[in-house]
């Protein structure tokens, strides 16, 4: 099979996948490892698929150094469903505090109000979600069951560089993190976390798989109104097969985990993320600053999602048209923020970011 160069896809999610993963998936589509079946055709109760699911879980556990007292669940519904599923399982109908740093944490706080006493403990909404409020100023309540934050805001491009130590802040609440858009691009300090969730469609692969990593002792407290399919205790007790799991998505996620391991693991992903983000922000802040702008506080800029604007927004359509012609895809910003957004997840090679910076430079020179 001959292959021409693939374009670079900067979609915020669903997003680019490693070419090696797609090639392997294509090669195995009709016959997985001599089974005579596509992975899509396998019973989730059969030994073939169970081996795939177990390997995916073990590889993810290894990659993120997940401690033995945490369970890894493969679920459905994405981050948006987790906004309900987390309070259904963890709030016990009590208090939960939310740190709002962008659109996603805001949505989470609003949805949780259906199930518990959800309150915003801190927000960066004033000024437009450009920085992270200092943890010392968060209005944490003594009776909060958990504190929710979105550790990387996909739309607003704000990322926590370290997770807060709630105990050091005098809180006994569990920390819940929505890490959908930067999972596997950096390590997670599990000593500070009770539950982490992530929709797979950003930094892992296929939409329709949701990863939940939760400390064992937090299971078993679901509200009576929690649908069985989303009761963490039932999901954990049934090895994520209480209902039929999204089998093909789990298989693809497993291939991505194997690919990350071959690259050198999460440490190597983080090294590359720092390099790629450094290249792009370096240009936007430096030579490109007269033509482009990124307004996020440099202390909390996301390594994964880089929103930026052309100072002359009348050039937006031309910019996007030229990018498309060069094979730089899906750069249009989210409608709520406008401008452009480059999502540079693990699967985006350095060459893709270089090609983007080259184009930014060329376009600015021609139109600036």
Q: Which residues are catalytic?
A: 104, 178, 202
Per CB under 8 A, does 252 bind a copy of itself?
A: yes
Establish whether 104 is an annotated binding residue: yes
Spatial distance between the Cα atoms of 84 and 290, rounded to a whole number of angstroms: 43
Number of residues that make up the chain: 368
Q: Choose, by CB under 8 A, the member of 30, 267, 299, 351 that binds a copy of itself.
A: 30
Establish whether 210 is an annotated binding residue: no
- Residues 321-340, one symbol each (x = binds a copy of itself by CB under 8 A, - = not), give ------x-xx----------
Q: Choose, by CB under 8 A, the member of 228, 262, 274, 278 that binds a copy of itself.
A: 228
Q: Tell the burial category of 356 from Cβ atoms under 10 Å away from its Cβ (0-12, 13-18, 19+).
A: buried
Establish whether 244 is an annotated binding residue: yes
Spatial distance between the Cα atoms of 43 and 96, rounded to a whole number of angstroms: 39
Under a CB-based contact definition with an 8 Å cutoff, are residues 69 and 63 in contact? no
Under a CB-based contact definition with an 8 Å cutoff, are residues 239 and 52 in contact? no
**206 versus 288: smaller Cβ distance to a copy of itself:** 206
319: Cβ contacts below 8 Å, ≥ 6 apart: 310, 331, 340, 363
Buried b (16+ CB within 10 A) or exposed e, 121-144: bbbbeeeebbbbbebeebebbeeb
Sign of the torsion angle spanned by Cα atoms 170, 174, 178, 184: positive
Q: Choose, by CB under 8 A, the member of 101, 247, 258, 302 that binds a copy of itself.
A: 247
Stretch that binds a copy of itself, among 54-62, 118-126, 145-153, 227-235 (CB under 8 A): 227-235
Count the alpha carbons within 13 Å of 260 in the hemisphere toward its beta carbon.
33
Per CB under 8 A, does 368 bind a copy of itself?
A: no
In the numeric block, which tokens belong to residue 350?
Answer: 């350095």
- What are the residues facing 199 on neighbouring strands? 210
- Residues 185-224, one symbol each (x = binds a copy of itself by CB under 8 A, - = not), give --------------x-x---xxxxx--------------x
Under a CB-based contact definition with an 8 Å cutoff, are residues 81 and 230 in contact? yes
Per CB under 8 A, does 80 bind a copy of itself?
A: yes
Establish whether 201 is an annotated binding residue: yes
- Residues 33-72, one symbol each (x = binds a copy of itself by CB under 8 A, - = not), give ---xxx-xxxxx-x--------------------------
Bind-site residues for pyridoxal 5'-phosphate: 104, 154, 178, 201, 243-244
**Interface ranges with a copy of itself (CB under 8 A):** 3, 6-7, 9, 11-17, 19, 22-23, 25-27, 29-31, 36-38, 40-44, 46, 76-81, 83-85, 88, 111, 114-115, 199, 201, 205-209, 224-225, 227-230, 242-249, 252, 327, 329-330
């Amino acid at each position: 099979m001959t292959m021409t160069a693939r374009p670079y896809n900067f979609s915020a999610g669903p997003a680019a996948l490693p070419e090696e993963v797609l090639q392997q998936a294509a090669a195995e589509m009709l016959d997985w490892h001599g089974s005579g079946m596509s992975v899509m055709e396998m019973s989730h109760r059969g030994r073939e698929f169970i081996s795939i699911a177990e390997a995916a879980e073990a590889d993810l556990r290894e990659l993120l150094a997940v401690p033995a007292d945490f369970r890894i669940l493969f679920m459905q519904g994405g981050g948006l469903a987790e906004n309900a599923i987390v309070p259904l399982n963890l709030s016990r109908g009590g208090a939960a505090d939310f740190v709002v740093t962008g659109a996603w944490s805001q949505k989470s706080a609003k949805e949780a109000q259906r199930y518990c006493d959800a309150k915003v403990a801190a927000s960066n909404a004033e000024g437009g979600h450009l920085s992270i409020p200092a943890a010392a100023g968060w209005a944490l309540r003594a009776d909060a069951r958990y504190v929710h934050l979105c550790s990387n805001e996909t739309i607003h491009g704000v990322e926590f560089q370290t997770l807060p130590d709630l105990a050091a802040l005098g809180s006994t609440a569990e920390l819940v993190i929505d890490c959908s858009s930067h999972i596997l691009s950096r390590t997670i300090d599990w000593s500070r976390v009770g539950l982490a969730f992530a929709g797979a469609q950003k930094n892992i692969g296929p939409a329709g798989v949701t990863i939940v990593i939760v400390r064992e002792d937090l299971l078993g407290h679901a509200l009576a109104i929690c649908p069985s399919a989303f009761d963490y205790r039932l999901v954990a007790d049934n090895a994520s097969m209480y209902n039929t799991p999204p089998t093909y998505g789990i298989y693809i996620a497993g291939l991505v985990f194997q690919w990350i391991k071959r690259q050198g693991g999460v440490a190597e992903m983080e090294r590359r993320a720092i390099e790629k983000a450094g290249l792009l922000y370096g240009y936007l802040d430096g030579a490109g600053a007269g033509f482009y702008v990124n307004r996020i506080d440099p202390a909390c800029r996301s390594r994964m999602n880089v929103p930026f604007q052309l100072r002359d927004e009348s050039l937006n359509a031309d910019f996007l048209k030229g990018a498309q012609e060069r094979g730089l895809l899906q750069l249009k910003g989210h409608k709520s923020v406008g401008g452009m957004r480059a999502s540079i997840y693990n699967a985006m090679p350095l060459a893709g970011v270089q090609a983007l910076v080259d184009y930014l430079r060329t376009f600015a020179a021609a139109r600036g």
